[in-house]
Structure 1
Amino acid sequence: MNKASFEKVIPPEGSSFKAFYFKAPFMPYGGRWHFHPEFEIVYLPSGKGRRFIGTKISQFTDGDLVLLGPNIPHNCFNVGFESDNYEEYVIQFNGEDIKEASKFFKEFNGIGELLTKAQAGLSVNNKEKHIIGEEIKQMINLPPLEKLLKLFKVLRQFAEVSYESLHARQYLSLSVVNTGRVKEIYDIIQNNYQTNISTRQVAEKTGMTESSFCRFFVKSTGKTFKQAVTEVRIQNACNLLVNSDASIGTIAFDCGFNSLSLFNRLFKRNIDDTPNSYRQKYINHVQVSFPKIA
């Protein structure tokens, strides 16, 4: 798994979002390392295992309920599942419209705040996750309007219970005004992070001068282009460390770092851990360090 694949979410006809259910052995997505611009709710009614979200590995017991913000790379939840009888309920929706509605309807205020906090991922770890889970189960076969109303109820319940941050990170934080252009740049990073990609090359591809490109990118994302490329490389290195047997040196070069020492230094700076220690903590089922990627 060299790259996080982009998942295009296509709601069914007559609906503005997607809600679906599947159960082993019928697993349509396997174990893909992927991302998408939609928010995602995942509910597992039972079982224990590990989550692989961003640069963080964490554990869950007695099922799971999480809310992920946009563009957080993650593995499918059957990866790391340690119990029998895997089943999963998933809701994928555009939260920006709901956050915008909270500006006009006071009833949505709590939901808007919830979605803002979900940018780093949230999990419910007490028995209330199964109360919300029952609402999610009922949603699957409802007509579109009733399904939408049920989504609002699920989000309201989520906002009212105790939850914890997963401390995950998006690949890039997008300005609403410049989302389209930044996504174009992001696609270029995704396809070229293993090479020595430069600001000059990307500026040419996007029809900007190098200086205007650098100003635009910092203004739109809050980070330099170099920082963004490093973030994507580190994210993919974390994925390879826990999902492959490749040597650390091989992973470093496969992810675009031209020296092992540079990789080790940047990995330590961003993840607050060494690559070898990060891998060993996964092997020993211990939660890894929180990332410091901004």
Structure 2
Amino acid sequence: MDQSFRQSLKESTVHGTERFPFGAYSHHFSPGAHVVDSHWHNEAEIFYVVEGEVLFQIGSEYISVRAGEAIFIDGGDLHTGHAQGIHGCRFYAMVFDFGMLASSSYDHVQESIIVPFQERRATFPRRINSETDGRLLGHILEMKRLSEHKPDGYEVAIKGHLFLMLYEASSSGRLVNRSRSDAVDITKTERLKKVILYIQNYYHRSIKLRELADLIPMSEGQFCRFFKSMTGQTPVDYMNSYRVRQAVELLRQPDQKISDIAFDVGFGHISYFVRVFRKIMNCTPSEYRKKL
């Protein structure tokens, strides 16, 4: 695996703290919105859908998750998501370093439970719902409640619920081996990483579809179908989404003009920048800056 490609997609957000590496986030998205751009992180992640429906893609696997269900993403998995239906979606994400459950010494729990989990030889099922994994879902809901209210000692309770999830999955035979990946999927993922690295390096200027297709190489038509199948977005939509995310960071600097920001992130026309920004962020750049 080319580490430069892999590193380019790695999320840089720090989740939780060094002493308690557990971060929880609530999000709401309008119908058809791109919920999660293609990315990965070392930490594991649990998405619980509160309202609506989200179509997740993990590698080349597609999974639809409805309100009241959750999805588990192993650390290192490339993933993306889209709001489905006409009502948008609301979800709660919990991102954590599974090392927080490691034993202080190499005991039986570390050997038989923690290490196999970290190596993906015995990990949680992808889709978690009340029909097949009611007890697991109950622990997820309780961790959500604890994260929202943060009572004294909630950190201990969250670690306890993660341990109990491991017990429930193990005792019910629901632990899954995802240590092996299909060679075809690996090739597709590496091709996608190559294209996304190129976009992230050159987003500030005009990028032609032909440039991206030549990286693989494919015809432009083949490339567009490949990219859409892997990310759920067209190449243009992905580039616009990435550019808007860069613009969001620049808007935090009050001395920069919005027109300058538009050109700095690769938009050739200010009107097009405003239109795309509104579509993705549900507000104009100036309105976003006022919110800050």
TM-score normalized with structure 1 length:
0.50
How far apart, in 1, do the equivalents of 2:86 and 2:180 lie? 28
Q: Is the 8 A contact 1:65 1:123 kept in 2?
A: yes
* Change in 2 beyond 3 A, CA 1:154/1:10: same
Cα deviation per residue 1:244-277 (whole Å; 9 max; x = unaligned)?
A: xxx9987642xx22355xxx8xx9xxxxxxx67x
- Give the drift of 1:51: 1.0
The match for 1:98 is 101
How far apart, in 2, do the equivalents of 1:111 and 1:97 lie? 10
The match for 2:48 is 43
Matched, 1:8 2:12: yes
Q: Is the 8 A contact 1:64 1:123 kept in 2?
A: yes
Matched, 1:134 2:141: yes
* Change in 2 beyond 3 A, CA 1:40/1:102: farther
Q: Is the 8 A contact 1:38 1:71 kept in 2?
A: yes
How far apart, in 2, do the equivalents of 1:90 and 1:133 lie? 10
Q: Which amino acid is 1:134 matched to?
A: L
| Aligned residue among 23, 26, 41 for 1:22 | 26
- Give the drift of 1:146: 2.6
Q: Is the 8 A contact 2:143 2:161 kept in 1?
A: no
Matched, 1:147 2:155: yes
Q: Which amino acid is 2:159 matched to?
A: L
| Aligned residue among 217, 239, 242 for 1:258 | 217
The match for 1:272 is none
Cα deviation per residue 1:171-215 (whole Å; 9 max; x = unaligned)?
A: xxxxxxxxxxxxxxxxxxxxxxxxxxxxxxxxxxxxxxxxxxxxx
Q: Which amino acid is 1:72 matched to?
A: D
Q: Is the 8 A contact 1:89 1:136 kept in 2?
A: no
How far apart, in 1, do the equivalents of 2:18 and 2:102 lie? 21
Q: Identity, % of aligned pairs?
A: 14
Q: Which amino acid is 2:97 matched to?
A: N
Name which one, 1 or 2, has greater alpha-carbon Rg.
2
How far apart, in 1, do the equivalents of 2:104 and 2:72 lie? 19
- Give the drift of 1:72: 0.9
How far apart, in 2, do the equivalents of 1:236 and 1:52 lie? 18
- Give the drift of 1:63: 3.2
| Aligned residue among 46, 69, 73 for 1:68 | 73
SS at match of 1:44: strand
Matched, 1:32 2:44: no
Q: Is the 8 A contact 1:66 1:123 kept in 2?
A: yes
How far apart, in 1, do the equivalents of 2:35 and 2:163 lie? 27
How far apart, in 2, do the equivalents of 1:89 and 1:250 lie? 37
Q: Is the 8 A contact 2:101 2:163 kept in 1?
A: no
Gapped regions of structure 1 (runs ≥ 5): 171-222, 239-246, 268-274, 284-294
Cα deviation per residue 1:105-138 (whole Å; 9 max; x = unaligned)?
A: 5388445544434679732233415412321222
How far apart, in 1, do the equivalents of 2:122 and 2:62 lie? 17
* Change in 2 beyond 3 A, CA 1:102/1:51: farther
Gapped regions of structure 2 (runs ≥ 5): 197-207, 234-292
* Change in 2 beyond 3 A, CA 1:106/1:165: closer
How far apart, in 1, do the equivalents of 2:188 and 2:124 lie? 19
The match for 1:125 is 129
The match for 2:83 is 80
* Change in 2 beyond 3 A, CA 1:19/1:156: same
Q: Which amino acid is 1:31 matched to?
A: V
Q: Which structure shows the higher strand fraction?
A: 2
CA-based RMSD of the aligned residues comes to 5.1
How far apart, in 2, do the equivalents of 1:123 and 1:166 lie? 14
TM-score normalized with structure 2 length:
0.50
Q: Which amino acid is 2:139 matched to?
A: I
Q: Where do residues 105-120 of structure 1 align in structure 2 (5 Å cutoff)?
A: 106=109, 109-110=112-113, 112-115=115-118, 116-117=120-121
Q: Is the 8 A contact 1:54 1:73 kept in 2?
A: yes
Cα deviation per residue 1:64-110 (whole Å; 9 max; x = unaligned)?
A: 322222221111x4x13336363222222222453565832538844
Pairs aligned (count): 207
How far apart, in 2, do the equivalents of 1:108 and 1:145 lie? 27
